[in-house]
Structure 1
Amino acid sequence: MGGRGRSRRTQRKHFRDGRENVWKNSKSDTQEENGSNNSNGNNTNKPTHWQPFAVENSFFDEYYKEQGIVRPEEWDSFIEYLRRPLPAAFRINSCSQFCTDIRSQLEDEFMKSLQAEGTDGNEAEGIKPLPWYPDNFAWQSSFSRMQLRKNKNLERFHEFLKQENEIGNLTRQEAVSMVPPLFLDVHQDHFILDMCAAPGSKTFQLLEMIHRTSEVESLPSGMVIANDVDVQRCNLLIHQTKRMCTANLVVTNHEAQHFPSCHLRKNRVNPSELGMAELLFDRVLCDVPCSGDGTLRKAPDIWRKWSVGMANGVHCLQLQIAMRGLALLKTGGRMVYSTCSMNPVENEAVVSEILRRCGDSVELVDVSTELPQLIRRPGLKSWKVRDKSMWIASHKDACKYGRTGIVPSMFPSGQAHIDTSDIDQKITTGEICDDGNSGNSNNGLQNGDDEGEPTDVSVTEVSSLPLERCMRIVPHDQNTGSFFIAVLHKISPLPVFQTKSSKNSQQPHSDNDEKPKLLDDGVEKDNNAMDLDVLDATNEESIEAKAADAGVPDNESDEALLDSNPSKKLKGTEPEQVRTPNKVNTRAEKANDKRKLQIQGKWFGVDPVVFFKDDAILNGIKEFYGIPESFPFSNRLITRNSDTNHVKRIYYISESVKNVVELNFLAGEQLKITSIGLKMFERQTSKEGTSSPCVFRISSEGLPLLLPHVTKQIACASPVDFKHILQYKSIKFPDFVDDGFREKIATLSLGCCVVVLNRGNEGSSDPPTVDKSTIAVGCWKGRSSLSVMVTAIDCQELLERLLVRMETEKGSCLPENKPDSEVKEDSETIIG
């Protein structure tokens, strides 16, 4: 009874917390309104009506007027835009097979039809490409997300956005959120770290950049590691990036400020044999957690929640993450630091402290000439800090008035001023209370109080650093949200600061009190980094013993982690739920079970990363699909289950990802990998599937990469037959229109096969010639029928793209370019 009671109370509490943002009248007001209409005295206490969020906050206005992020004459326009709903924006996947078709559809169809569409009685611009985004691959709609959902005239456009987003051809993303990756200057061979990656839109963008010049038969030599600290957000990140279908991605789950470098001890293995001795990156995207007041237009509940403490509370964390990112950056590499906040305490203050700590090792890059059509404001060189209701012009004032939560790095100069004896004396005399507030004020110092206001608050510090090279995007310049971006270039290894005590190392500090120096071997050391005990081990036994102390996770299949059902991923219950073993083994018992530890992996609740090396299964796959030996399979296949007989999915990884996995193994599995690689093969578990010579079918995600190398189990279909397959999902052999295709299908073995659209020249060769424009779909050849093996929405997308191409290309195989409804009737006649 006690347990059930606690459960009910917990549920009620959670329900109450979840309804916090539902705006309704108070209970007493509702009772008064309902009482006069209820003759029997039974009040229903129903809320009267929904009320919109109050899009104003006097503290917000006062704070940003004082900081001067916009000129006084612009304030009204600035605040007016902040109170408007944010326009919908989306980006075309430039690596998609249909990217040019989608762009043409937007330019020739939707852009014109929605040009004069009225919403709520007002004329709107419709949709238009973002002028600063390359190649018209990013678009903005003047309609808000709410309008797209509610307006019937926009229903077709809304359905188009939803379908293409789910397929992966489009990514719905705030316009200003697209900016930071554009300043990273990503090349195809770069190793990239996205430190705080969820929900994954920027990661998707980075993957596009490394894939944009790759050929259909090859993979780029670069890779992306996308990291996030939150397990549930990692699931969302996996779901987002899965649509990219890439073998060059690893998703990890770490605190960004403690992200491991997987340093390889030189006395254990020759680094040249592996390709790397430490995991360092050419590019780092450091889009840190922030107060988020730049997203007010899409999250109006922030108006009510906003306070100065939101920014002050995350400043130190942001600084730690940024410093860790620079430590993981290669010399000569570039890092972008960004926030969706307008607050200088989270922006210029962090950047200036980075520059002070790093000295000549890091420079702030001037990118004012890049993306010239993007309107941006230069960074501030002077700002103030506010704590509760008190303005603080310098750290000296913070110490004077006992504001212990205000650190030197928040101020333009970064100068520390510590006079503990003065503070102790004032506390003793009652001038300053133990809680840090002045003894002469009530609930903190108020603005304008003569007794509490610092005497020199009007004279603020001015930074001597080139902070004007930072950029701030504000909403009224181009009808967007707000964003802050700084581009940093690492010139040389970072200096090392030896802290005097562990207490000092826990909080950011100014380098005025510390003398920088380099390590003897020239490698930078970062005190913000996690203490990696495993890396200090001197032999294999000590590494395994230390790993044993972490415990042994349950060995589950990869079904929960990488299931194709998005709803399972977003629940956040299966992939990384930490479970406590029923029996706690001693260290000796764990050390004696090294093999089991190696098989199951290091991290609780996370399935191990295992190289798939079953030659019998692999040779059977190669023989069945006619994959040549030249295709790189060696050490490129990954599973998440060490039992080969129960492997359900096999993932393919690029050469760069393979090197990282091998380094991670040698360094003691420092990376907590939640997702890796491209799903290439899946076990067919149906009764008919087990009778096939090969029980592993090619997944739809892996088909584009494998298609140029498949020489068996492949056939070309005429446009009519290909269309019928997509429409009806399963077709009997006698119902195919083309005799040649019917005969070819009959010669294939029972099991998975690939059907390629014949555009006129593919059918002349066997196997067919494929390129980037080739349209193909995975099917299952049964004893009497052919069934498609992709989702319904994938079929619908391919069908629509097929019809568009058939109508636009000359010599279309559809008679007289009939409408789809007429063609369907003809098809039903043929098949029926």
Structure 2
Amino acid sequence: MGGKGRGGRARTQRKHFRDNRENVWKRPRPDPNSANDNDKDGNGNGNGKPWEPFESQSPAFNEYYKEQFIVTAEEWDTFIEVLRKPLPAAFRINSSGQFCEEIRAQLQNDFMKSLQAEVTEGDEAVAIRPLPWYPDNLAWHSNFSRMQLRKNQALERFHEFLKLENEIGNITRQEAVSMVPPLFLDVHPNHYVLDMCAAPGSKTFQLLEIIHQSSKPGSLPDGLVVANDLDVQRCNLLIHQTKRMCTANLIVTNHEAQHFPGCRAHTNLFNASASGSEVKPHNTQLTFDRVLCDVPCSGDGTLRKAPDIWRKWNSGMGNGLHGLQVQIGMRGASLLKVGGRMVYSTCSMNPVENEAVVAELLRRSGGSLELIDVSNELPQLVRRPGLKKWRVRDRGVWLASYKEIIEGRQSVAIPSMFPSGRGRKNQADNNDNSELGVNHLDGSIGSSVDVSEPIMDPVDGFDEVCEFPIERCMRIVPHDQNSGAFFIAVLRKIAPLPATFEKQTSKSSNDRSRCKLPQTIADGESVEVDAAVGMDESSSEAGIISNNQGEPSSADKPACELPVHDNKDADGLDTNAGDSEAKLVDNEVDENNLEVAAIKIYSEESKQPDDGEVDPTKSSAKRKLQIQGKWKGVDPVVLFNDETVIDSVKTFYGIDESFPLVGHLVTRNSDTNHVKRIYYISKSVKDVLELNFSVGQQLKITSIGLKMFERQSSREGSSAPCLFRISSEGLPVILPYITKQILTISPVDFKHLLQYKSVKYADFVDSAFGEKASNLMLGCCVVVLGTGTNTSSDDIKVDSSTIAIGCWKGRASLSVMVTAIDCQELLERLSNRLENDL
């Protein structure tokens, strides 16, 4: 298998070399020893042209944003000048990390002073500083770009500090404006939070920090974070990023955001559990207290860190994504609890992707959503109000309203892109679902606001003006605070979303099937409104292209041993397993056709993950549960209930009965005899997982819980009384409940253990500790850092300052079971403390 995979990749790589594909991010520089840069053998780029820096201007960009007035004419030059400068580095301290206070003190007392000499003329007055708008000085702005940090030898110590602490998880390197949306979510530790488009995971990590911030050692918050992304590879990046958090309150899923499953269970299909009790109402549907919709966008707010966007920017990029953004926003609103808060955000400056989307969300919600005024929150954050009016550009023509669109372009520039969101007068008054009388995004008709004629600005008399308080949105522009650009809107759900029927368009040439929606929706059951609408021709022409992919064959879906309430229909189809993945694809930009979108979203038509296959013999309210099989390419999630192994672990480590293990352990392998890793999940994650089982595994879970135990693979480990060791990630959670195989070590011996990785029992400075360690049972043990030279106390009290590591008690020595970088971090963090104790 390995050879086959490598061969496939090798063929792909050979093809790329043969085609001489350009890498726009790493252009080779010319050879300084060459006499002629234009010589193919002299300039190093193989194309006969001298090396040139990235293009840092775009006439189309200038024309577009000057017309939209996102900044005044007087400040335009400053705006562009800052956009062309590299983005300063920024990072955030993990507020729930053990060394949070020490890292903040090190930045304030060490690096702020030592780096000051590196500030050059024309730069900011200080080298690094805390961001004034971020609470508790936990986010920092560096006056140096990432390139400067890598290249300047004088900054090497600071750069190494950032790399080490980032890898450990004590800090997260993140663009400053990207930190803003989670702050406006107002997350509490008991909240269920959904991050709909989560990769690469910086915001997810930030949400987890807030969830865990007030947790005590050994306790887990009541809330959770569900982090979703549509691409499996990006999910892997997301998992790697959030793994540093060491949390049992995270679920990572792989779905198209606009089709995210609602996991609504019909209690009449399984109204009794094994104990005979009915399913509790709050466990029959997955809804969230907070939803973050940081949607896919054209990304021109990131020009300072991604300068290649300059050369390929065109207005069609934003037009092509508008429909998808509305769909994701409506799906997020439908999954939001009444009273909950949702943040819609993009890293784009385009009003078609920002204000127009928010206005359409408000329009569709029929008063169920309100735009919150958050001007009093984070008062030191410099932000600008949302635009009340904007224009749409199509094929080089500026359009002030939908009525100006030429024949044949109605499916590209659609009504919701304009401030009023309305079509032509005779269309808005008709309720006949004609081709131009519907909203081309989902086929829905009309609005809660009767606006047959576009609202006109009394001053201009030409442009439409949005009827909603869209100025409550905020736009962050680069030159206000030396940052990137971002757009944020904060919405509150004040009532269930209105139910509508999605009617088929009789004039549709391909007779696409549509998903009907319920006529009435009770509180907490609004998750199926606008869940997964079919895409029509407007989506295709605007850059959203449907991809009709068939269901995977039954051979690709092996059975999985998971608890189900109804698995009698062994021939049922897995209606979700064929959920296609959305992909981002760059188009070549045609200079004569500016509406060509740079991003295409592939999604399966008429897919509504909430619904299984309808049994024709039963009412439409009832659904068949899918076969309990694996999602293609994703390992199953299996509850681990092997009593023999669990009892062995509890006995060996003396785990207190107050720490729940049964029902909180999962694996990704249904064969318990070959389980290598056991994960621990919080109660909130357990509740969601049980709901997911009961509705036929609608959630495609790529990662869940916290790695708690790992099987010993060494020869000596196989002979130990307990086959499983405690992982470094899970140790902080289980530490307060361990009563056996745990010792306190003096600072000097702890330092030696970290330095040498393995120490013989007779070589410990504290001979009493060496003797105690040698008397432990063979296998994993825990060593807790003590104070002074006293290690005789058997009463180990754990608090937020307790430092402990996992070790292996061998026959002749004690060895650490943490990575080299973890050892380096502990030595760095504890150097002052250890020196004082010696």
Q: TM-score with structure 2 length normalisation?
A: 0.80
2:837 to 813, 816, 820: 813
Cross-structure match for 1:387: 394
Structure 1 residues 60 and 504: CA distance shift in structure 2, 3 A:
farther
2:722 to 688, 694, 700: 694
Cross-structure match for 1:608: 636
Distance in 1, matches of 2:29 and 2:104, equals 47
2:305 to 298, 311, 328: 298
Cross-structure match for 2:462: 459
1:32, distance to aligned residue in structure 2 (A): 8.9
CA contact (8 A) 1:327 1:494 kept: yes
CA contact (8 A) 1:25 1:48 kept: no
Distance in 1, matches of 2:625 and 2:369, equals 45
CA contact (8 A) 2:573 2:626 kept: no
CA contact (8 A) 2:575 2:626 kept: no
1:208, distance to aligned residue in structure 2 (A): 0.6
Q: How many residues align?
A: 715
Q: Deviations over 1:702-742 (max 9, x none)?
A: 00001111111011111000000000101111110002211
Of 792-801 and 516-525, deviating more is: 516-525
CA contact (8 A) 1:126 1:142 kept: yes
Aligned partner of residue 214 in structure 2, secondary structure: coil
- Residue 197 (1) aligns with residue 198 (2): yes
- Residue 328 (1) aligns with residue 335 (2): yes
Structure 1 residues 13 and 386: CA distance shift in structure 2, 3 A:
farther
Q: Deviations over 1:143-200 (max 9, x none)?
A: 0000000000000000000000000001000000000000001011100000000000
Structure 1 residues 622 and 520: CA distance shift in structure 2, 3 A:
closer
- 1:479-558 alignment runs, 5 A limit: 479-501=482-504, 518-519=520-521, 523-524=525-526, 526-530=528-532, 540-541=566-567, 545-547=571-573
Distance in 2, matches of 1:363 and 1:123, equals 39
- Residue 685 (1) aligns with residue 713 (2): yes
Distance in 2, matches of 1:177 and 1:400, equals 40
Cross-structure match for 1:590: none
2:366 to 353, 359, 372: 359
- 1:727-766 alignment runs, 5 A limit: 727-760=755-788, 763=791, 765-766=793-794
Distance in 1, matches of 2:509 and 2:139, equals 42
Cross-structure match for 1:577: none
CA contact (8 A) 2:473 2:489 kept: yes
Cross-structure match for 1:438: none
Q: Deviations over 1:503-562 (max 9, x none)?
A: 89999xxxxxx99964378833645324999xxxx9824665434577899xxxxxxxxx
Give the AA of the match of 2:399: I
- Residue 11 (1) aligns with residue 18 (2): no
- Residue 626 (1) aligns with residue 629 (2): no
Structure 1 residues 630 and 148: CA distance shift in structure 2, 3 A:
same
Cross-structure match for 1:227: 228
Distance in 2, matches of 1:275 and 1:14, equals 58
1:802, distance to aligned residue in structure 2 (A): 1.3
- Residue 645 (1) aligns with residue 673 (2): yes
Distance in 1, matches of 2:311 and 2:172, equals 30
Distance in 2, matches of 1:335 and 1:761, equals 53
CA contact (8 A) 1:395 1:416 kept: yes
Aligned partner of residue 377 in structure 2, secondary structure: coil
- Identity, % of aligned pairs? 63
Distance in 2, matches of 1:549 and 1:376, equals 45
Q: Deviations over 1:91-139 (max 9, x none)?
A: 0001110010000000000011112314599676210000000100000
Distance in 1, matches of 2:253 and 2:45, equals 50
More helix by share: 1
1:272, distance to aligned residue in structure 2 (A): 4.6
Cross-structure match for 2:348: 341
Structure 1 residues 782 and 371: CA distance shift in structure 2, 3 A:
same
Cross-structure match for 1:794: 822
CA contact (8 A) 1:398 1:404 kept: no
Structure 1 residues 775 and 458: CA distance shift in structure 2, 3 A:
same
Structure 1 residues 620 and 196: CA distance shift in structure 2, 3 A:
same
Q: Deviations over 1:623-674 (max 9, x none)?
A: 1001022211120000000111100000000000000000000001000000
- Residue 712 (1) aligns with residue 716 (2): no
- Residue 174 (1) aligns with residue 198 (2): no
CA contact (8 A) 2:388 2:466 kept: yes
Greater C-alpha radius of gyration: 1
- Residue 676 (1) aligns with residue 710 (2): no
CA contact (8 A) 2:254 2:701 kept: yes
Distance in 2, matches of 1:551 and 1:474, equals 42
Structure 1 residues 504 and 165: CA distance shift in structure 2, 3 A:
farther
- Residue 97 (1) aligns with residue 98 (2): yes
Distance in 1, matches of 2:422 and 2:467, equals 12
- Residue 261 (1) aligns with residue 266 (2): no
Q: Deviations over 1:297-356 (max 9, x none)?
A: 000000111000110000000000000000000011000000000000000000001111
Distance in 2, matches of 1:707 and 1:141, equals 37
Distance in 1, matches of 2:172 and 2:9, equals 45
Aligned partner of residue 572 in structure 2, secondary structure: helix
Structure 1 residues 90 and 502: CA distance shift in structure 2, 3 A:
farther
Of 293-302 and 496-505, deviating more is: 496-505
Aligned partner of residue 423 in structure 2, secondary structure: coil
Distance in 1, matches of 2:638 and 2:212, equals 26
Q: Which runs of 5+ in 2 are unaligned?
A: 1-6, 273-277, 428-458, 511-515, 535-550, 552-563, 580-623
Distance in 2, matches of 1:506 and 1:360, equals 34
1:417 to 392, 417, 424: 424
Cross-structure match for 1:132: 133
Aligned partner of residue 251 in structure 1, secondary structure: strand
- Residue 310 (1) aligns with residue 317 (2): yes
Structure 1 residues 314 and 751: CA distance shift in structure 2, 3 A:
same
CA contact (8 A) 2:227 2:253 kept: yes
Aligned partner of residue 209 in structure 1, secondary structure: helix
Of 216-225 and 494-503, deviating more is: 494-503
Q: TM-score with structure 1 length normalisation?
A: 0.81
CA contact (8 A) 1:638 1:650 kept: yes
Give the AA of the match of 2:643: D
Structure 1 residues 544 and 265: CA distance shift in structure 2, 3 A:
farther
Q: Which runs of 5+ in 1 are unaligned?
A: 421-455, 508-513, 554-593, 815-832
Distance in 2, matches of 1:248 and 1:358, equals 31
CA contact (8 A) 2:420 2:465 kept: yes
Distance in 2, matches of 1:762 and 1:595, equals 60
Structure 1 residues 521 and 466: CA distance shift in structure 2, 3 A:
closer
Distance in 2, matches of 1:343 and 1:542, equals 52
- 1:647-662 alignment runs, 5 A limit: 647-662=675-690
CA contact (8 A) 2:355 2:470 kept: yes
Give the AA of the match of 1:529: A
Give the AA of the match of 2:471: E
1:388, distance to aligned residue in structure 2 (A): 2.7
CA contact (8 A) 2:92 2:172 kept: yes
CA contact (8 A) 1:715 1:767 kept: no
Aligned partner of residue 251 in structure 2, secondary structure: strand
